Amino acid sequence: EPEVTQTPSHQVTQMGQEVILRCVPISNHLYFYWYRQILGQKVEFLVSFYNNEISEKSEIFDDQFSVERPDGSNFTLKIRSTKLEDSAMYFCASSVQGWDEQFFGPGTRLTVL
Amino acid sequence: AQTVTQSQPEMSVQEAETVTLSCTYDTSESDYYLFWYKQPPSRQMILVIRQEAYKQQNATENRFSVNFQKAAKSFSLKISDSQLGDAAMYFCAYRPVESFGNEKLTFGTGTRLTIIP
């Protein structure tokens, strides 16, 4: 069964460094999402992406964040200058259409030191 | 803004027994979707069950069923014949009926379910 995959599973970085989190959505899916979960807190929406543009973003998704679909398979989340408070689990998800079930990846744990 | 509340941070149940996880939500929309997601220790979230607000009939998926009370804005999950593999964090989530730019899921804080052998 097709799955959403994410790499790396764990990323450790120094404050102020740039990180890129990678996701491979399910191949026939058209909508892509990033969510994050700070340890012990709820899962929060960051951004949705369709047809090579952002369709919705939360207030968390400020100028330090960007998303890109550089090729036909990858979907990336870039944080330009990481802060301590960016430490969280980042989940990628995808769906065939906007109203369909969102399938989640296993997550990338980002630790900012 | 929509909010989702799960008032039970932790629950436990004996294997083979039944347990109910609570969820309430707040919205001004009349049509929307509600979901229960399961997040096992491996941390990949899996959809357990989905309810469409315009449907009066409660959704059922094998041992999982919901009690959807639209007027009370309540959406509880019942797990029957609990199994060890049901141990996980369970998240209740809300999403409006689709319109472009409004596909995000709003999650509750989760309920950690422990199954006692």
**Which of A102, A108, A110 to mutate to test binding with chain B, by most B CBs within 10 Å of its CB?**
A102
Question: Which residue is it, tokens 């899921």?
Answer: B105
In tens digits, chain A (113 residues) has pLDDT values of: 789 999 999 999 999 999 999 999 999 999 999 999 998 888 999 999 998 999 999 999 999 999 999 887 899 999 999 999 999 999 999 999 877 889 999 999 999 99
User: What is the chain B residue with the closest CA to A109?
Assistant: B43
pLDDT at B100 over 70: no
Other C-beta atoms lying within 10 Å of the C-beta of residue B57: 8
User: Is B45 in Cβ contact with A43 (below 8 Å)?
Assistant: yes
Q: Angle A56-A30-B54 (CA atoms, 0-180°, nearest 5)?
A: 70
Q: Three-state DSSP class for A32?
A: strand
Q: B115 pLDDT exceeds 70?
A: yes
Instruction: Give the Å distances, CA to CA, from A98 to A51, A55, B49.
Output: 12, 10, 17
Count CA atoms closer than 13 A to A66's CA, side-chain side: 10
Q: How many CB pairs under 8 A join A and B?
A: 60
pLDDT at A39: 87
pLDDT single digits (tens) B5-56: 999 999 999 999 999 999 999 998 888 999 999 998 866 899 999 999 998 8
